[in-house]
Amino acid sequence: MKATATNVFETIRVDSPIGPLALAVRDGVLCALELEVHGPRMEARLRRRFGAVELKTGSERQPVARALRAYFGGSIDALEDVEADPGGTAFQRSVWDAMRAIPPGQTRSYRDLAVAAGNERAVRAVGQASGRNPVAIVIPCHRVVGSDGTLTGYGGGLDRKRWLLRHEGALASG
């Protein structure tokens, strides 16, 4: 019987103004970012994507954690160089790439992303890809809004989406 390789992830908790964040980093690459710290759920999701996993407590000085703290500290472009491995299908990756191309302080509609992903009629599929984004904030699904500019579904809740967009200057305060 062939031995299965174990994927080792550093897990790091980052406190933020929108609540604690849980990160899973492998070889310096962000593979998961959850807006709620639920270890067993993150581990189950990593197992579905990577097979055998081992979680080890990581350092707060990990570059991804430092970049997130800088982002929440006001350096809204601090996440641009964070390397992420979201996995996913070819279509999901095209949607997530289009999300990463949205500059901080701006938004795009689900339809805009469908066009960017090569299928203008795939608006619902873009919404589904957004909902399956395993590295929220770094792949900024919070920057995606309805065609009329309204804030629509966000896995972390609309209050968090609103906070992130205000933090980046895409929404007026108040």
* pLDDT (0 to 100) of residue 59: 87
**Residue 101 scores a pLDDT above 90:** yes
Average pLDDT for residues 134-151, to the nearest whole number?
A: 93
* pLDDT (0 to 100) of residue 49: 92
* pLDDT (0 to 100) of residue 173: 67
Q: Which domains are present in the chain?
A: 7-72 (3.30.160.70), 90-168 (1.10.10.10)
Report the distance separating Cα 103 and Cα 64, nearest Å. Answer: 19
**Residue 136 scores a pLDDT above 70:** yes
Mean pLDDT of the chain: 91
Spatial CA neighbour of 131 closest among 154, 165, 114: 154
Q: What pTM, to 2 d.p., does this model score?
A: 0.91
Average pLDDT for residues 140-160, to the nearest whole number?
A: 89
For CA atoms 76, 97, 132, 65, give the dihedral sign. negative
Residues with a known catalytic role: 141
